[in-house]
Structure 1
Amino acid sequence: MAAFRVLALRLEEELKDFTLAEVFEKMKLSDGEFEDWLRTIALLGTPRCGSCRRPMKLRREDNMWICHLRECRTGPYGSTKPSTPVKKGSFFDKAHFPLAKIFALSYFWIHNLGLVVDKEYELGIGHSTVVQWEQYFRDICCEYFRRNRPVLGGVGHVVEIDETCVTKRKYNRVRWVRRHQWLFGGYERGSGRSFLILVRRRDARTLLRLIVKYIRPGTTIISDCWRAYNRISTLPHGFTQLTVNHQLHFVDPRSGAHTQNIECHWQKFKSLAKRKYGINNRRYKDYLSEFLWRQQFGRRNEAFYNFWMQVAEFYPVPC
């Protein structure tokens, strides 16, 4: 834990308030210099020999780690033991081009700078490579929420809930067709934290189960008058429920209850989905995770640091 705190401080010092100009400065480094810098912030590691457990030595000519002891490098019959690739076990393991370009691509992706064709041109990498690595970045968002399920509210907190219909693309024999599906979510006032879940049905059994899973006991829940929500106040979790009838009001005149924050949330997600089309059925949940990640961690001066801090956490390397 202490080592991780040191890592966090080192990454914060290097990557917080990181600018595009600094990205291009890093791209001026040679491949070896850039990889050395990545090791200083624990995004690449220095492995230990499997035999003597001492730190291995980098052989620059082929970018491989070897043990400097002859007896460790040689097998029982004089054969050379295999060496370790520099990127092995790191987030960059699948990279087949300079790591500085991945670093720059991540900055463009995190800050929504440019289209795919712009990134291809600026970085000199192919279309499929840009798309694939942006999915790897998105996988970090998915992994974060897999490990840290959002749970909202609590006593004294207000959570707005709502459901909306979204359009997904599904391949049907020879063409893409549009298919409608329901999305259920909650938005915590004050913190702006949220959850978004694809649901096959929006009946009481489905939605009440998700409310109990994602909202803490004692929360004040604001919803519309959809019949599936009628039993919220009867659940044994101490929820207080306020409702607004959207056929009559946007804001309830007596209680002041409204769901405008979660509805605004829907619009932001649908705007992202529209920009990213085609989002297809197979990747829709990934884009939900990306959207939630951007809402929670996307502050301009912190987003780059937050992303690479999570990479360092999910891909620990020997230091």
Structure 2
Amino acid sequence: MEEACSSSENHILQLPNTCVNCYLCYGDFCATFTGKIDLLIDLCQRHGVLFSHRTCPTCDGECRIDLNKMAFRCNKSYASFKKKRKRCNFFVSVFKGTWFANSHLDMETNLKFVVLWLQDWFSYKAAETELKLPAVTIADWSSYCREVILSWALKNNNNNKIGGANQTVELNQAEFGRKKCSVRHIVEGQWAFGGICRDTRQFFMIPVDACNRDTLLHIIKEKIEPGSTVISDCWQEYNCVLSEDYEELKVSQSLNFKNPVNGALTNATRRKWLGTRSLLRVIRKKKMSMVGYLATSYFKQHIVDSTRRLHLFLHATSQFYPPAK
């Protein structure tokens, strides 16, 4: 029997297997929910995106959901101050104060876009073909989705430290940015530090404003357990690791792919950066929006199975856009 989903923070981070209908690929989601508004409402209610019930402010009665009007209604009668029976006509949209409020997209199209956007193969062309949406609408809703993912990443990326005694952490830096006239010179960029534990495969990505020794040392202390073996390249800022409670191995990428002496290499973190750069195929990106793209990359690489992403996204949406009365 299917159980109700919980929207607690622990469940958002641990991703419990308590929901069946939201573990679907895009094709299965369309086949399951197309034209079935009652199933879509039930899906959102179980994840906390919509109210599951509402109390009438006039007569304190339980409102019913009118699927035709997509609203909570109360038609109960009550005694007025003149002892006459009056019918309560309370009426409010089920979308008021939620993720769907003020949306020009219908609920079905909205959720289909979210599922499509969460796929690794998402593109503007795919959204235009599948959902018949203009480019401006696709850009706007992609931005809204990145806001939700960014709120999730701020909680999940700061959750736990990686590494520990007898564990190895690869550490590397990368710069993302737009290019002028498609040439190599980067006009505006966003620096980010990343690390991955070889033993547990846990990783982190942190965008930073300044790429210097103090920033790096703060990230190492915050994200990596003392006693870890840290592998990095020969960038001079990584010398700060030597002064802390960490073992350090280095490899010079300009000379060797793998250090012939100690066997150090940082190919795992470089693969993570390649996955992030694949989201930035359009090179003219503003620096202010880079954090959202980094969060999206972190989310998609953290949840490899794309069929499980909707469950997590809906829980994050219920916290970022909690239903308000």
- TM-score, normalised by the number of residues in structure 1: 0.80
The one-letter amino acid paired with 2:175 is: C
Match for 1:218 among 201, 209, 227?
Answer: 227
- Residues 75 and 90 of structure 2 are in contact (CA less than 8 Å); yes or no, is this contact kept in structure 1? no
Question: What are the within-5 Å matches in structure 2 for residues 62-81 of structure 1?
Answer: 62-71=69-78
Contact persistence 1:11–1:305 (CA under 8 A): no
Most deviating of 22-31 and 34-43 = 34-43
Match of residue 297 from structure 1: 303
Counterpart-to-counterpart distance in 2, 1:73 and 1:280: 60
2:217 alignment counterpart: 208
* Partner SS, residue 206 of structure 2: strand
Q: Give the secondary structure class of the aligned counterpart of 2:302.
A: helix
For residue 174 of structure 1, what is the aligned residue in structure 2? none
Kindly state the Cα deviation for residue 118 of structure 1 after the two structures are TM-superposed.
Answer: 3.1
Native 8 Å contact 2:177 2:283 kept in 1: no
Q: Secondary structure at the match of 2:6?
A: helix
Q: Which amino acid aligns with 1:55?
A: E
Aligned to 1:89: 97
The aligned residue for residue 282 of structure 1 is: 288
**How many positions carry a matched residue from both structures?**
304
| Equivalence for 1:12 | 19
Aligned: 1:153 with 2:155: no
State the superposition RMSD in angstroms. Answer: 3.4
SS of alignment partner, residue 306 of structure 2: coil
Secondary structure of 2:231 counterpart: strand
Matches within 5 A, 1:1-319: 4=6, 12-16=19-23, 18-31=24-37, 34-36=40-42, 38-39=44-45, 42-45=48-51, 46-50=53-57, 53-60=60-67, 62-71=69-78, 83-150=91-158, 151-168=161-178, 178-235=187-244, 238-274=245-281, 276-312=282-318, 314-315=320-321
Q: Deviations over 1:229-262 (max 9, x none)?
A: 2131322xx3222222334322222321111111
Cα deviation digits, residues 161-202 of structure 1 (max 9, x gap) = 1123332369xxxxxx83244332222223433222333433
For structure 1, the 5+ residue unaligned runs are 171-176
**Shift in CA distance, 41/203, structure 1 to aligned 2, threshold 3 Å:** closer
Q: CA deviation at 1:288?
A: 0.4
Task: Provide the identity percentage.
Answer: 22
What is the CA-CA distance between 1:160 and the residue it aligns to? Answer: 1.0
Structure 2 vs 1, CA of residues 227 and 178 (structure 1 numbering), >3 Å: closer, same or farther? closer
Distance 1:53 1:313, change over 3 A: farther
- Distance of 1:72 and 1:187 partners within structure 2: 66
Which amino acid is 1:161 matched to? L
The CA distance in 2 between the partners of 1:282 and 1:132, in whole Å, is: 15
- Comparing 93-102 with 284-293, which one deviates more in the overlay? 93-102
What is the Cα deviation at residue 48 of structure 1? 2.4
Secondary structure in 1 matching 2:268 = helix
Could you say what secondary structure the match of 2:225 adopts?
coil
Partner amino acid, structure 2, of 1:192: R
Distance 1:106 1:98 in 2: 12
Matched residue of 1:140: which SS? Answer: helix
- 1:135-157 C-alpha deviation (Å, 9 max, x unpaired): 22212210112222343222232
TM-score (norm 2): 0.79
Q: Distance in 2 between matches of 1:294 and 1:285?
A: 14
**Given the superposition, is the C-alpha separation of residues 49 and 248 from structure 1 closer, same or farther in structure 2, using an over 3 Å criterion?**
same
**Corresponding residue number in structure 2 for 1:173:** none
* SS of match in other structure, 2:294: helix
State whether residues 78 and 88 of structure 2, in contact with CA within 8 Å, keep that contact through their aligned partners in structure 1: no
Measured in 1, the distance between the counterparts of 2:44 and 2:216 equals 45
Look up the equivalent residue of 2:156 and give its one-letter code: N
Q: Which residue matches 2:183?
A: none
